[in-house]
Amino acid sequence: MVVQTSVFFVVVTDNIHHLVRESISVITSPVYGRTLVVVLSPLGDLFVLLTILVALSAVVVLSFRNVNATGNDWRQIRTIRLGVLMVIIAGLLKWTLLPMVDVHIPVTVLALPGLMVMFNASVRQDILS
């Protein structure tokens, strides 16, 4: 929790020290129109890697929890784990593959399917009660 909080404050204050982003620009694409492009610094890449590792550790913990679960609990854990994996894959695509082919889609848009799966699990399967 301390690492995530520290990363949050470094990212929020990046306008002051410019440790996380090397550059921010707006490009015009024939497919997407005007698009914001953020080039991360090595520290920014490290923060992305840490975020992915935290999400992967959540998947591992959920997998161990899923071993002993039955019935409705098993379905809930499976659905949440699927949503987290979808978000991880979206983040990895955004971080590695898409910049190589010059495709600039916001990670929030790429993560929407996984977030919708997790939202569905929390509402439909009544996880939060």
Query: What pLDDT shows up at residue 13?
Result: 92
The pLDDT mean for the chain works out to 85
Q: Report pTM.
A: 0.78
Bigger pLDDT: 124 vs 110: 110
Q: Which residues contact 26 (CB under 8 A, 6 or more apart)?
A: 34, 35, 36, 37
CB 52, CB 114: distance < 8 Å: no
Tens digits of per-residue pLDDT, 32-43? 788 888 888 999
Domain boundaries, the chain: 2-124
Distance CA 79, CA 73 (A): 10
pLDDT of 110 above 80: yes
The whole-number pLDDT of residue 116 equals: 93
Res 89 pLDDT > 90: yes
Task: Please report which helix (H) or strand (E) contains residue 38, including its range.
Answer: strand 33-40
